[in-house]
Amino acid sequence: MKRIFKNRFIILLVFCFGLFSCSDDFLNPDVSEYATGEQINDLTSQGGETVVALMNSIISGAYNAMITYQDRHDAFGQMSTGFAADLMTEDVAINYVHQFIFDYQIGNNAAAYARTVNTWNYLYSVVSKCNEVIAAVSSETTDSDLKKVLGQALALRSYAYLQLVQRYQQTYIGNEDKPAVPLTLTANDDRESIPSRATAREVYDKLLVDLEDAVNFLDGFSRPNKTIIDQSVASGIYARLLIVVEDWPKAAQYAKLARTGYSLMSQNELKVDGFNEINNKEWLWGADITGETTTMFASFFSHVCSYDEGYGQSNFMPKMMDARLYSQMGSNDARKAQFKDPSLPVDIESDVAEENAPSYCNFKFKKVTGWLADYVYMRASEMYLIEAEALARQGKGAEAYVVMKEYMDNRDPDWAVGRSSVTAEDVFLQKRLELWAEGHIFYDYLRFKKGVNRDYAGSNHLEKLNIPAGSWKFIYQLPQFEIDNNVDLSEADQNPLE
C-alpha cells in the first residue's frame, strides 16, 4: 500500500506542478493548495528516479525560458536582455535605426515600455520555475541527485535575481538600503518572501547564501552538456555577485574555481571563431540552439551577425565597436580581426561582407545555416578578468598581472611589455574588448560608476549623447502592471524616470 500511495502522490505532484507552471502569477508560487509542504518534502526526501526526473523536467523549463520568444523581434530571453543592456553603454555603435533603437538611445526605461515589461516577465519566469524545484526539494534531502537539481535551481534563481536587482535599482555600493525588487521565496527557503520592494541588501544577502549552497550542492556533479549549470558555472555566477558587493578575496577565489579545467582560445582560434558553438573549449555555459528552439529572425544572431539573412547584415543594420574603444587595442591584438579595420575602404556595391561593411563593423558573431547558432552565457576568459580585478582591488597588482599575462598572451602578445602590475581600470578595458556585445559589460559600467559619453571627436555613434554615472536613465522603472496589481506596491514605490 505504501508503494501505491507513493506512486499516486507522484502523479498528484506532477499534476499540481503542471497547473502551477501554466500560471502567469510569477510572484506568487504556491503548490500547497494541492499538497502540503510536509508531504512534498517527505516524498522528495526519499528521492528515486521518478522524483528526480520530475525535478529535472521542471528545471528544464527554467532553462527554456532563457531562449523563449516573447512576441517581439527584440525580446527572446537572455540574449535580448543582455544585448539591450550593452547597447546602453559606449561600446556598441550603430548607424541605422532598428528594433533596439530605444535601448541604444538610453530611453527605454519607462514603466509602460515593452523593454522593462519583457525583462521583468522573463526574469521572474525563471525565478518562478526555479521556485517550483526549491519548494519541492528540501536542502536537507539525502538524495544526491535531488541535491544536484536543487543546486541548479538555487544558482539559476540567483542568476535571474542578480540581473533584476541591478536593472531596477542603482548599483549595490552606496545604495544598500534602497528599494529593489520583490523577493519571491518558498517555504523551504531560510527567510520569508518580501512581496513589496525588498532592499538591495536583503536581495544580495539572500543571493550570497543561495550561491554558497549551490556551489556546495553541485560538488561532484557531472552534467550531460553545457546547457546545464554545474559547480563551475555556479561559481562563475557567484563570482559575478561577489564583485558587485566588493568581496574581493572571495571573488578571486570563485572566479578561479569557475575557470579551472577550461582553457582559453589561442590568438589564431579567436580570429576565426564565430562565437556560435557551445562546444567551444572556453564556454562554461550556454544554450544549444536547435531546429526546435531557434527563434530565427527574432534572435540574437539575426541582430548581431553582419552578413547573411537577418537584421544585422552589413548594409542594413550593422552593429559596430565604438571607435574610441577600438583604438585602444594593440596593433597585434587578435580581437581586431573581429571588426572591420577602419583603414580599409568601404565598397557599398560589393556582395562581400568584409568589403561593404562600415568601419568598425563586427564580424565577431557568425550566423549558422538554419538559424542554429548557439548562445553564450559564460566564458572562461571572463573568469580570468574577474579574478584579476579582484586581486588588483586588494592591492595585489603583481598577482593580478600574473593572471592577466596568462590571459593576454592569448590575445595580444605585446601587452605584457613594460608591465609588472595591473589596475582595476586595466581589467575593465580588456573586459570591454573581450566581452563585446555578450551581455555583461553594462553591469560593470554600473558598479564602476561610469557614465556614457559618445559625443567625442571621431565618434562613430548615431546617437552622440553624454549621460553621467548614476543617472536613472540607466535603471528601469517597475512595470506599470506590477504597480497596479501588487497590493504591496503603489505609485510612491516607483523609480524616477529622469
How far apart are alpha carbons 118 and 69 in whole angstroms? 10
Residue 447: how many other CB atoms lie within 10 Å: 15
The residue with cell 570563485 is 254
pLDDT tens-digit profile, the chain (498 residues): 333 333 333 433 444 444 344 434 445 444 334 444 455 555 565 567 889 999 999 999 999 999 999 999 999 999 999 999 999 999 999 988 888 999 999 999 999 999 999 999 999 999 999 999 999 999 999 999 999 999 999 999 999 999 999 999 999 999 999 999 999 999 999 999 999 999 999 999 999 999 999 999 999 999 999 999 999 999 999 999 999 999 999 999 999 999 999 999 999 999 999 999 999 999 999 999 999 999 999 999 999 999 878 898 877 789 999 999 999 999 999 999 999 999 999 988 888 888 999 999 999 999 999 999 999 999 999 999 999 999 999 999 999 999 999 999 999 999 999 999 999 999 999 999 999 999 999 999 999 999 999 999 999 999 999 999 999 999 999 999 999 999 999 999 999 998
For residue 23, the model assigns a pLDDT of 39
Torsion of CA 243, 248, 250, 255, to 10 degrees: 60
For residue 33, the model assigns a pLDDT of 40
E strands, 24-81, are none
For residue 18, the model assigns a pLDDT of 44
Torsion of CA 483, 488, 491, 496, to 10 degrees: -80
Cβ-contact 378, 285 below 8 angstroms: yes
For residue 405, what are the contacts with CB-CB under 8 A and spacing of at least 6? 415, 416, 419
For residue 40, the model assigns a pLDDT of 55
Cβ-contact 83, 304 below 8 angstroms: yes
- The per-residue pLDDT of the chain, averaged, comes to 91
For residue 47, the model assigns a pLDDT of 63
CA angle (63 as vertex; 62, 64 as ends), nearest 5: 90
Q: Which of 445, 379, 442, 490 is nearest to 100 (CA)?
A: 442
How far apart are alpha carbons 270 and 378 in whole angstroms? 16
CA angle (437 as vertex; 248, 467 as ends), nearest 5: 75
Residue 220 has, within 13 A of its CA and on its CB side, a CA count of: 6
pLDDT in tens, 464-485: 999 999 999 999 999 999 999 9
Q: Which of 436, 414, 464 is nearest to 363 (CA)?
A: 436
Crossing angle of helices 380-393/397-408, nearest 10°? 160
Q: Which of 238, 242, 183 is nearest to 211 (CA)?
A: 238
What residues are paired with 183 via a beta bridge? 194
For residue 350, the model assigns a pLDDT of 85
How many helices (DSSP H) and strands (DSSP E) are in the chain?
19, 6
For residue 154, the model assigns a pLDDT of 98
For residue 349, the model assigns a pLDDT of 85
For residue 43, the model assigns a pLDDT of 58
For residue 24, the model assigns a pLDDT of 42
Q: Which of 218, 99, 36 is nearest to 108 (CA)?
A: 99
For residue 498, the model assigns a pLDDT of 82
Grid cell, residue 166, equals 541591478
